[in-house]
Structure 1
Amino acid sequence: MFQLTVTPETALADEPLCIRAAGLNPFQVVTFKASLTDEKGKLFQSRAFYKADEAGNVDLEQAAALGGDYVGVHPMGLLWSLKPVNPFRRLMKQDVMNSPFYVQLELYDSFLHEDSPKVQPKASQMIERWFSGPGLQRIPIREGRVRGALFLPPGEGPFPGVIDLFGGIGGLIEFRASLLASHGFGVLALAYFAYEDLPRHLLEIDLEYFEEAANMLMHHPKIHKSGIGVISVSKGAEIGLAMAVHLKQVAATICISGTAFHDTQCKYRDLVFNPIPHQMEYIQIHVSGALRMRHIMGDPRAEVNQQSVLQVEKAQGHILFIVGEKDECLNSKAYAEQAMEQLRRHGRNNGTLLSYPGAGHLIEPPYSPLCFASWSPFLSRPLLWGGDIDCHAAAQEHSWREIQKFLRCHLTPSRSKL
């Protein structure tokens, strides 16, 4: 009798699973298949082939996949190798509080290829991947100009406070904020354009809006008063770094796949920072049809662009740069290295760089599928993000641990201050 066991069946989306099969014939080749339908009805699937041991068992923590969507020993490979049946879809949880992603795991007693005739699985199990832990509270924010959602863990706190910024797709994206809050942080998922009454397009960055959000978070009774953190990606990382430079409330900043200069005009009080011009002639069309934007930025080291370079040496808090070396949207490694060199030239040691070979642009919480390219609401073609599937998965797993360590280290007051 074929048996498929997955433990735990219900878990946070960033928690690992133990997947095992039993009751097989000795050395039998089987197929594991995973299927997930997102909230818009789009299907994601993965499969991998394994050989049972002499006792007729397969344990994904020890057994190596022989082929399929990945090869080798990868206990969570069935989740991070999920890919859209329709191309250019990005898997993003919308409702983080009321429903999980349901993943159907199935076991077949032979090789099951994409064009194989439909057969019934020998065993199956449904698992739940949640983005909010027990007791997590979500508070919609409409305070002054600030729009977003505040996530608070259960308990009285105070908790380390973090602002979460996503990039150029706009709107309000909550899945990373809710996961971080499930690990003990008070996190404000902050919208800054294309949401409610905020501007439809990001034509200018008004840093005073983000200062208002930082003050609001710091004044919350359940948030530590010693300073807040910012976690940011892509366009959001440009803003996160500007916050680190100009806002004294910011004690720790995480910049994922961003720039070290102004790509959009930025203003703060009486200061106006002009953007580096785009070199549109360097846009390339990938074989997939997606736009490769990696080389469209002007050289920030050129004299004409110096006024656009962020003065990272003025940041009082700590900065963690996270980049993928196969980022096809931005040359984010070069920009992070430039910022690190700028810090060193000014005698500062408050920067850390994590650079991941094979990782792409969208470095997300662990076990998230690689999104190689996806549609943007503001472009006529999909954008190329890049990344090699297994290297990207490893980068996400490692960086998520480092993100939490970094935030706890720099946002939690020492016992001597309590």
Structure 2
Amino acid sequence: MRKPERHRFTRRQMVASLSLGTLGLLSGCSGNDQENPDVEESENGDGEGTETDSDDESGKDNNSGEEGVDEENASKYTVGFEHPDAVFPDQPFEMIISGLPPEKTVKIRLGDSGRPRSAAAKIQTNQGGRVNIDEATIVGGDVPQEVNVPLPVVLHQFVDLSFRRARESGPQTAQYSLEIDGEDIGSTTVTRRHPNIESAKAIDHDEIVGDVFEPTNGGPGPGVVVLHGSNAIRRQYVAGLLAQRGFTAVALQYFDAPGLPKELMEVPLGYVETTTEWLLDHKSVTGDQVGLLGYSKGGELALLAGSQFESVGAAVSISGSGVTWQGFSNDVFSSSWALNGDPTPYISLVDEGWEGNPIQGYTNSLEAASEEEIEAATIPVEEINGPVLLISGGEDRIWNAVRLHRIAEERLANHDHPSFDHLVYDNAGHVITPPYLGLSEIEGGTRAGKAEASHDHWPQVCETLSALE
């Protein structure tokens, strides 16, 4: 049988085949090493949606008593709220509401009901007219009953997005309001301290393009390099979240910038090594190894670079691949990556299957490859000197990340690697976002499945990277 011809797959074609939601959303900790968000330096950002910019620098640990009670109903209900004044955006929190009628259905809404970007859920009060919405059973509204994510934060994931969520930056205020039988009876606010993107510092190295986020708690911490996907958009928000967790994180760009390859074609692995060595010399980095956290093609790069360099002590691949692929170019057939000046082995892209979502094209290409080609292109992940975490969505529309990560998983198991895991979220898509941001269903998966993946994967990402300490 004739082997299918190789396909010149350009980055422009890839971008055209991806949904706008995939390109716009971020993919990637609810850890225990964060500093108190109430004393974090505050700077306003440019986010939008259910939150508004806030200059609140209150040092309170929680709110209690009446707040924002509707005057018309003040004599009927004396509503009290208990919750933190400020939280990090990836931090679940408890909210207890009292002073409500017993055993009554109450609607809690995030955002202004008159604005398009809001989400609401109906919950039931107990016999004492009190409800802990963190543990409340959902009985209706925008959030599905089966979602296993705390309600105060899952509401952020179900806001009605007209297109895509703007990038969040800095402290922003989220408003929670209560309704009974269509009447507003009270409201409260919580400040979410998103990473301040403007706090990033340029990397003082002539060959490296990226931004470094230092730990916001003032202390040194493990170093992490965050790798973007084929869209060449730096993952600044993710690096900022890691900085809030005590890491020193670099949002690295590895192509399509001055001094770098214009296309995702034969990107030198040595560039990643240079970045890790620079990071290890940084004043705010502890330890003698750094972690790599990559998304999609960046996940493929994280596994490959991690298998080559002793400076890497942990690797996380989100929606990545255990094999290396042909790069994207107008006129070149070669690998996405190069080592010591030579292209690494790769799986070629065939012509068929690239209409619409590209998953069929990648599937066809993998099936057309010979066993020898697949073996040569398989990343030697067993050489990674530290824990490996693979994260996949079962409804990925870009490529079959579950299958591609299984290749790495099986290799790790066959070589008795001491620390690895593969998290598969059956109802998630290609983009697995940091918690807790607005979600869509554009690039695969259900909103419920993606909400749970976002909630569940991030603490495990942080735990894997914390092995560097």
- TM-score, normalised to structure 1, is 0.79
Match of 1:299 among 350, 359, 366: 366
Provide the rounded CA distance (Å) in 1 between the counterparts of 2:192 and 2:185. 23
Q: Which aligned pairs between 1:149-168 and structure 2 lie closer than 5 A?
A: 149-153=211-215, 157-168=219-230
SS in 2 for 1:44: coil
Structure-1 residue corresponding to 2:341: 270
Q: How far 1:217 moved relative to its partner? A: 0.3
The answer to whether the Cα contact below 8 Å between 1:319 and 1:350 also exists between their aligned partners in 2 is yes
* Structure 1 vs Structure 2 CA RMSD: 2.9
Indicate yes or no: 2:390 matched with 1:321: yes
Q: Which aligned pairs between 1:328-407 and structure 2 lie closer than 5 A?
A: 328-373=397-442, 384=443, 386-407=444-465
Match of 1:140 among 193, 202, 211: 202
Provide the rounded CA distance (Å) in 2 between the counterparts of 1:280 and 1:28. 60
SS in 2 for 1:299: helix
Indicate yes or no: 2:299 matched with 1:234: no
SS in 2 for 1:316: coil
Kindly tell me the number of residue pairs found equivalent between the two proteins.
Answer: 374
Residue deviations 1:345-392 (CA, integer Å, cap 9, x gap): 34544432222332332223332333422xxxxxxxxxx2x2233333
Q: Which residue type is aligned with residue 206 of structure 2? A: G
Match of 2:246 among 165, 184, 191: 184
Aligned-pair identity in percent equals 25
Greater alpha carbon shift after TM alignment, 190-199 vs 47-56 = 190-199
162 and 85 in structure 1: CA distance in 2 versus 1, 3 angstrom threshold: closer
- TM-score, normalised to structure 2, is 0.71
Residue deviations 1:13-49 (CA, integer Å, cap 9, x gap): 011122344333333333222139xxxxx96321112
Indicate yes or no: 2:197 matched with 1:124: no
Indicate yes or no: 2:271 matched with 1:214: no
SS in 1 for 2:117: strand
Structure-1 residue corresponding to 2:235: 173
SS in 2 for 1:282: coil
316 and 18 in structure 1: CA distance in 2 versus 1, 3 angstrom threshold: closer
Structure-1 residue corresponding to 2:122: 49
255 and 45 in structure 1: CA distance in 2 versus 1, 3 angstrom threshold: same
SS in 2 for 1:296: helix
**Structure ranking higher in strand proportion:** 1
Structure-2 residue corresponding to 1:85: 161
91 and 145 in structure 1: CA distance in 2 versus 1, 3 angstrom threshold: same
SS in 1 for 2:120: strand
342 and 47 in structure 1: CA distance in 2 versus 1, 3 angstrom threshold: same
Provide the rounded CA distance (Å) in 2 between the counterparts of 1:157 and 1:60. 35
Q: Gapped runs of 5+ residues in structure 2? A: 1-73, 328-334
Q: Which residue type is aligned with residue 257 of structure 1? A: S
156 and 179 in structure 1: CA distance in 2 versus 1, 3 angstrom threshold: closer
57 and 360 in structure 1: CA distance in 2 versus 1, 3 angstrom threshold: same
75 and 4 in structure 1: CA distance in 2 versus 1, 3 angstrom threshold: farther
Provide the rounded CA distance (Å) in 2 between the counterparts of 1:189 and 1:49. 40
The answer to whether the Cα contact below 8 Å between 1:17 and 1:76 also exists between their aligned partners in 2 is yes
The answer to whether the Cα contact below 8 Å between 2:268 and 2:341 also exists between their aligned partners in 1 is no
Provide the rounded CA distance (Å) in 2 between the counterparts of 1:276 and 1:4. 60
Structure-1 residue corresponding to 2:353: 282
Provide the rounded CA distance (Å) in 2 between the counterparts of 1:54 and 1:279. 64
Provide the rounded CA distance (Å) in 1 between the counterparts of 2:377 and 2:195. 39
The answer to whether the Cα contact below 8 Å between 1:33 and 1:78 also exists between their aligned partners in 2 is no
Structure-2 residue corresponding to 1:39: none
396 and 162 in structure 1: CA distance in 2 versus 1, 3 angstrom threshold: same
